[in-house]
Amino acid sequence: MPSYFVTKEKKLRRKASVAGYFYPNRERDLKEMIGGMVEPDRERISGICVVSPHAGFVYSGPVAGAVFSSVYLPDKYVILGPSHRGIEACLAIMKKGTWETPLGEVPIDSQLAEQIMHHSEGISEDHSAHLHEHSLEVQLPFIQFFKKNISIVPICIAPQASFEDLEDLGLAVAKGIKDVKDEVMIVASTDMSHYIDQELARKKDFLAINKILKLDALGLFETVQREHISMCGFQPTTAALIASIELGAKKAELIKYQTSGDVTGDYREVVGYAGIVIC
């Protein structure tokens, strides 16, 4: 079955691509799983952006659950994620249609998407870049668990994106958010180090995490490349940092860090996950 279809009203509807694989495909089971990963009694803070992981929920869900439990959640989101499959566009946006998950259908905020595109010549409308990409999709159930009526602007970023591309994107996102004059949260989707031992993963990951906590976008971009950190979403996170600073961010806080080894007990080859709030 294709990951999208066009309705009789000629509306693009992107179907869930990794439901039943990364997370349960039944609403009841998904709610039960997320309910065991969130922290409903946690004190919430106001945030401009969250950095959240995107692996299978059994591995990264506790980190995503913690970070989305720690902030006040608005009605609108710009979600920035890396392409794991390769895409033609450097910066690919969907500006119309809806996304489906087992928790319901989420509309794309076309007005916000248009405003973001207005401020950048580097962003291309390309729904095909999103069809099978999991990095943005897996953020939605955590938001939907807490908020029923939300809208999104999904942007997928190619591995070849330069710092100049990301600076252009980050500024466009910030200016677009300012234009609509609504509260909008940015979500940067990323996992950290991949398939190295726990001690080395933690060492490398905190080189990157510390740059995020210092709101150092260029430092993050350069450190990941120089230190060969296999942080798959460092480019979305770089763009999100640039946007957040433009929107007035003053600090960042690490909410939770763990690795797949903390779940499996196998610390020989782990993947790292970090949940961070920028505010």
Is the pLDDT at 198 greater than 50? The verdict is yes
Domains of the chain, with CATH numbers? 4-278 (3.40.830.10)
The tens digit of pLDDT for each residue in 202-248 reads 999 999 999 999 999 999 999 999 999 999 999 999 999 999 999 99
Please write down the HEC assignment for all residues of 93-147: ECCCCEEEECCEEEEECHHHHHHHHHCCCCEEECHHHHCCCHHHHCCHHHHHHHC
Q: Using CB atoms within 10 A of its CB, is residue 146 exposed (0-12), middle (13-18) or buried (19+)?
A: middle
pLDDT at 11: 77
pLDDT digits (tens, 9 = 90+) for 20-62: 999 999 999 999 999 999 998 999 999 999 999 999 999 999 9
| Residue 5 binned pLDDT confidence (cut-offs 50, 70, 90) | low
The answer on pLDDT for 253 being more than 60 is: yes
pLDDT per position as a tens digit, 149-175: 999 999 999 999 999 999 999 999 999
Q: Is the pLDDT of residue 9 over 90?
A: no
Which pLDDT belongs to residue 85?
Answer: 84
